[in-house]
Amino acid sequence: MIFTVTPNPAIDHTIRFDEPLQTGVVHRTDEQVFTAGGKGINVAKYVSALGVDTVASGFLGGYFGNFIRGRLDDDGIASEFVHIDAETRLNTTVLAEDGEYKLNHNGPHIQEAHVDELIKIVQQHEPETVIVGGSLPPGMSLSAVDELAAAGDWRMAVDMGGESLTQLDAEYFVCKPNRSELAAATGRDVETTDDAIAAANDLREHGFEYVLASLGADGALLVGENDVLSVPALEVDVVDTVGAGDAVLSGFLAGLDQGLGTDAALRMGVLTAARVVSVAGTRVPHLDDVLTSDTKVDVTSI
């Protein structure tokens, strides 16, 4: 079972205007979308669609928190969040003729007692894998992530900002940076595959057994102590790249949960991402046949 933790979830509110925005003008539109957002929540959606048992968790409060719980219930995804006496955040993206505007809340303040409750919830579920994804809310430190990593005998995965990865002190199974996060974590230029491998090896020295790097059109790399696996991106009609990195990690972890080796799990990650980028937003495409797909994916050992 894969247990996902989204420390700072949000309702993602997207609205679209077919005109440039102006001050002093009331702009109106009928085009709006509300979704339950956050890296861990995205992973829960994808691994559930892949047929793997999952539980989504994190910190939720107020009306927006109830909305997220309801959306997960509607999707048939089990969840057990820590209740907080503050409002879960709302992040708004405005798509207009003159550009894209993002307005994000910092999120509610988290107390140490909330983290303690979260750890108890995870321990009660006894998962094989725990993944922490996304930003940390005010009041929650990276030491809390370390504490969760050390609280049980599970594979611990993290998908967080690049600089955060080098500040973690516990032992981790895998982290999943993208190209820019890999550069931020190591201070290296990451232009080529060789650059990415060198940066991933630097990052491994901070306590990661594997670094799974999603490289967009260049595919993905899995760098471990004794091997480097490379897989190209599949040729698909890309509609939206939102959630692609989450999908790579989801497929990889789901493959391992199903008993696959790292090479086959990496293949599953790329297949999952190929499906996800073919639909808009973080809507979940048809994924339940990914494990049995005969699509050719070349996994190369470097």
Taking only Cα atoms into account, the Rg of the chain, rounded to an integer number of angstroms, comes to 19
The residues assigned a catalytic role are 246
Q: What is the pLDDT of residues 150-198, one digit of tens each?
A: 999 999 999 998 889 999 999 999 999 999 999 999 999 999 999 999 9
Instruction: Give me 117's structure tokens.
Output: 């409750």
Query: Could you give the domains of the chain?
Result: 1-20+30-125 (3.40.1190.20), 161-302 (3.40.1190.20)
**Which residues pair with residue 5 across a beta bridge?**
57, 132
The pLDDT of 11-36, averaged and rounded, is 90
* Angstrom distance (rounded) from CA 197 to CA 179: 11
Q: Which residues contact 25 (CB under 8 A, 6 or more apart)?
A: none
According to the model, what pLDDT value does residue 190 have? 94
The pLDDT of 249-268, averaged and rounded, is 95
3-class SS at 6?
strand
Give CA separation, 182 vs 57, 74, 174, 282, 290, in Å.
Answer: 26, 35, 13, 23, 28
According to the model, what pLDDT value does residue 268 have? 92
Residue 205 Cα to chain centre, angstroms: 22
Residue type, 189: D
Share of the chain above pLDDT 70, in %: 98
According to the model, what pLDDT value does residue 132 have? 98
Do residues 55 and 79 lie in contact, with contact meaning Cβ atoms separated by under 8 Å? yes
According to the model, what pLDDT value does residue 33 have? 84
Q: Residue 232 gets which letter from DSSP?
A: P
Do residues 94 and 21 lie in contact, with contact meaning Cβ atoms separated by under 8 Å? yes
Q: What is the dihedral of CA 36, 39, 41, 44, to 10 degrees?
A: 140
pLDDT of residue 288 exceeding 70? yes
pLDDT of residue 282 exceeding 70? no
Numbers of helices and strands, H then E, in the chain: 9, 15
pLDDT of residue 280 exceeding 70? no
Burial per residue of 261-271, b for 16 or more beta-carbon CB atoms within 10 angstroms, e otherwise? ebbbbbbbbbb
Q: What is the pLDDT of residues 109-157, one digit of tens each?
A: 999 999 999 999 999 999 999 999 999 999 999 999 999 999 999 999 9
CA neighbor of 56 nearest in space, from 113, 146, 147, 125 = 125
Sheet of 99-103, strand order: 32-37, 10-16, 89-96, 99-103
pLDDT of residue 239 exceeding 80? no
Beta-strand relationship, 208-214 and 220-223: antiparallel
pTM, full prediction: 0.92
* Angstrom distance (rounded) from CA 45 to CA 41: 6
Output the average pLDDT for the chain.
92
Confidence of residue 281 (pLDDT cuts 50, 70, 90): low
The pLDDT of 240-263, averaged and rounded, is 90
Q: Which residues contact 119 (CB under 8 A, 6 or more apart)?
A: 147, 148, 151
Packing angle, helices 179-186 and 193-204, rounded to 10: 50
Phi, psi dihedral angles at 181 (to 5 degrees): -70, -35
3-class SS at 60?
strand
